[in-house]
Structure 1
Amino acid sequence: MVTVSSTYSPLARGQGGSIEISVKDNGPGIPEAIKEKIFQPFFTTKPTGQGTGLGLSLSYDIVKAHGGELKVETVEGQFTRFTVHLPLLAS
């Protein structure tokens, strides 16, 4: 099962705010041994030639370039949750 949620956090008028998007699954989780590597360019758990290992690395860079954060929370055998936190521009 995959759960997607979002939260909007407004600030005072004209000061922007932030949005948080969370994607959680009930899969096998990410082993601690590779958790720290998943945002590195070209890291993949797929066999050679079957994955570029750029998806999470590019996503991380794009979110950072917009002043945000991309985090992962995982428990082996239970779940993985990716959370994107982005600031909103003042209106």
Structure 2
Amino acid sequence: MKFYEVHDPYYALIKADNKEDAIRIYTDNVADDGDNLGISEVTETYAAVRHSRTYDEDGKPLSVKEVLEDITNDNEMVLGRDGNLI
């Protein structure tokens, strides 16, 4: 798995097999417009640290166990998104 970060138009941290899948996940789950995304690949360590600073649906920080499970499983997913979209 690879990790991607989008800053514009809305922030997202995405885990995907490749950049094309990351763009698809972004447009399906974050924002409808996938054109001209400021998307870049980031390291697993960077993604883990950023993801550890996100909050669950109840507004509580994720546990270390949750972060590690999300980072190491084989599922493509949005790991974090712009707080204004929640």
- Higher alpha-carbon Rg: 1
TM-score by length of 1: 0.23
TM-score by length of 2: 0.23
Return the structure number with greater helix share. Answer: 2
Return the structure number with greater strand share. Answer: 1
